[in-house]
Amino acid sequence: GNSVTQMEGPVTLSEEAFLTINCTYTATGYPSLFWYVQYPGEGLQLLLKATKADDKGSNKGFEATYRKETTSFHLEKGSVQVSDSAVYFCALNALGYSSASKIIFGSGTRLSIRP
């Protein structure tokens, strides 16, 4: 079946450090891949996405590249800020745009940035 595995948290970094949050997936076909972010007290927001192999999604300084050969979609940022403290969810949509498509989420990684 379809599933997403992401590194467990919490992850604690100092401001301006380099960030990597690992994510691997299992899916039939060619899923779309997402990173969602949940800031304290707020709802889930789409951070970035990639829809096919070798695509790179990017937003707010975050990047992730769709790697089909390693079934991975690792999230990276070169220099984190305190405002990046949040919970990050890797997710996939295995059925594309069909009416039956649904998103499967990983368990989330809590990121805390120290000033």
Partner 1 sequence: EAGVAQSPRYKIIEKRQSVAFWCNPISGHATLYWYQQILGQGPKLLIQFQNNGVVDDSQLPKDRFSAERLKGVDSTLKIQPAKLEDSAVYLCASSPLDSDEQFFGPGTRLTVL
Minimum gap (Å) between residue 104 Cβ and partner 1: 8
- Strands (E) in 15-102, as ranges, are 19-21, 23-26, 32-38, 44-50, 56-59, 62-65, 75-77, 86-93
- Binding status of residue 45 toward partner 1 by CB under 8 A: yes
- In the list 50, 66, 74, 93, the residue contacting partner 1 (rule: CB under 8 A) is 93
- Binding status of residue 1 toward partner 1 by CB under 8 A: no
- Binding status of residue 49 toward partner 1 by CB under 8 A: yes
- Binding status of residue 12 toward partner 1 by CB under 8 A: no
What are 4's strand-pairing partners? 25
Which of 30, 25, 72 has its CA nearest to residue 51? 30
Q: Between the CA atoms of 105, 86, 40 and 2, what dihedral angle is there, to the nearest 10 degrees?
A: 0
- In the list 28, 40, 42, 115, the residue contacting partner 1 (rule: CB under 8 A) is 42
Stretch that binds partner 1, among 12-20, 59-67, 70-78, 106-114 (CB under 8 A): 106-114
Which of 73, 94, 77, 95 has its CA nearest to residue 86? 77
Catalog residues that contact partner 1 under the rule CB under 8 A: 4, 32, 36, 41-46, 49, 51, 89, 91, 93, 96-97, 99-103, 105-108
